[in-house]
């Protein structure tokens, strides 16, 4: 099914009927990073299942609700739980909530995820500012007829992750005495983790971290003119780097451990966006 401007309007109208506040900043919280939504004041919590045309998020660690309210003095809309293409959703469904948040008033998207570290100088628990991405999902949310009202047919991706917003994040981390890595995020379809050979290939391609989300959302965001800040939590070293198997449990354990630093960084960045 193609989701059109009318579907976006319908979802946005419904959200407005539950939450009067106009959000300026949209956030998408990755696996285990949903804790940020607990800090929202005057929160209106809207389960995805209630929102017209929103699918359900099926992954453990992803709550599946939209939270609208105030965070660090700014009006925000937060996706607690996202739609991954490996769940079987088409790329247009990963783009849809981004477009809805833009329709609600957001001008900036802060996108977060858990990712495997490919750069061997990284350690599980590191936070990484995403400088750029490799879309290796084999999909693109903009395939199909283009709605020129939403954005251009051939959107520029040369500054997918805003230079200005990266500088703000870097400065905030410095003030907090927090070490912030910077690198390229490779987005793959998943859901199987990569093989060691694939990780060597990704390293040769210039990737520093790998995950199964984010790239489609960021493409949709740039298409509709949102500025993007991306932060990865390095939840594990990618396949073949350490002599141990990968597991979703390790991802959840690490994000749990990083929670307070992640919270401090994001809430420190928000007032400056
Ligand atoms: N690979 C892909 N996706 C991930 C990983 C990984 O190692 N860790 C967290 N998400």
Please give the C-alpha separations between residue 76 and each of 163, 195, 270, in angstroms, as whole numbers: 21, 38, 9
The residue among 133 and 4 whose pLDDT is bigger is 133
pLDDT the model gives residue 34:
85
User: Does the pLDDT value for residue 67 go beyond 60?
Assistant: yes
Higher per-residue confidence, 3 vs 105? 105
pTM for the structure as a whole = 0.96
Residues lining ligand 1, CB < 6 A? Answer: 114-116, 193-194, 210-212, 235-236, 238, 246, 251
- Distance CA(215)–CA(188), nearest Å, equals 9
Q: Of 100, 171, 70, whose CA–CA distance to 92 is shortest?
A: 100
Q: Is pLDDT of 56 > 60?
A: yes
Q: Which residue has the higher pLDDT, 32 or 187?
A: 187
Q: For ligand 1, what atom is nearest to the CA of residue 188?
A: 2
Beta bridge partners of 228: 109
Is residue 182 within 8 Å of 128, Cβ to Cβ?
A: yes
State in Å: Cα 156 to ligand 1 middle: 27
Burial class (CB in 10 A: 0-12, 13-18, 19+), 101: buried
Q: Which residue has the least CA distance to atom 6 on ligand 1?
A: 116
Q: Is the dihedral of CA 256, 179, 39, 83 positive or negative?
A: negative
* Ligand 1 binding pocket mutation candidate from 207, 238, 244 (most atoms within 8 A of CB): 238
Query: What confidence tier does 57 reach under pLDDT thresholds 50, 70, 90?
Result: low
Measure 205 CA to ligand 1 centroid, in angstroms. Answer: 17
Looking at residue 3, what is its pLDDT?
A: 86
Looking from the CA of residue 213, the nearest atom of ligand 1 is: 3
181 and 265 in contact (C-beta within 8 Å)? no
Question: Quick check: helix, strand or coil at residue 72?
Answer: coil
| Phi, psi at 32, each rounded to 5° | 75, 0
Residue 61 has pLDDT above 70, yes or no: no
Q: CA 22, CA 101: separation in Å to the nearest integer?
A: 10
Using DSSP's 3-state secondary structure scheme, residue 20 falls into coil
CA separation for the pair 192, 263 (Å, rounded) = 29
Strand, helix or coil at 136?
coil
In the block, tokens 């750069």 appear at 119
For the stretch 135-178, pLDDT in tens is 999 999 999 999 999 999 999 999 999 999 999 999 999 999 99
CA distance 258 to 14: 34
- Ligand 1 atom closest to 237 (CA): 7
């Amino acid at each position: 099914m193609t989701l059109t401007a009318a579907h976006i309007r319908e979802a946005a109208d419904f959200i407005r009927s539950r939450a009067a506040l106009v959000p300026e900043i949209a956030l998408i919280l990755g696996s285990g990073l949903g804790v940020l939504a607990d800090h929202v004041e005057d929160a209106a919590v809207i389960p995805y299942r209630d929102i017209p045309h929103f699918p359900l998020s099926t992954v453990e660690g992803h709550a599946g609700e939209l939270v609208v309210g105030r965070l660090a003095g700014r009006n925000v809309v937060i996706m607690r739980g996202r739609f991954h293409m490996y769940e079987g959703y088409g790329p247009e469904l990963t783009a849809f909530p981004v477009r809805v948040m833009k329709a609600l008033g957001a001008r900036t998207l802060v996108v977060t995820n858990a990712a495997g570290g490919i750069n061997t100088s990284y350690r599980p628990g590191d936070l990484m500012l995403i400088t750029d991405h490799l879309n290796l999902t084999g999909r693109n949310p903009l395939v199909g007829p283009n709605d020129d009202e939403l954005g251009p047919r051939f959107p520029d991706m040369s500054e997918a992750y805003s230079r200005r917003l990266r500088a703000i994040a870097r400065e905030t981390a410095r003030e907090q005495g927090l070490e912030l890595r910077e690198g390229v995020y490779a987005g793959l379809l998943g859901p199987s983790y990569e093989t060691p050979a694939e990780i060597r290939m990704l390293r040769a391609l210039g990737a520093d971290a790998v995950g199964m989300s984010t790239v489609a959302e960021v493409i949709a965001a740039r298409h509709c003119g949102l500025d993007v800040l991306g932060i990865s939590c390095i939840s594990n070293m990618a396949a073949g780097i350490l002599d141990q198997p990968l597991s979703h449990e390790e991802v959840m354990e690490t994000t749990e451990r990083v929670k307070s630093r992640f919270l401090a960084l994001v809430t420190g960045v928000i007032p400056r966006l």
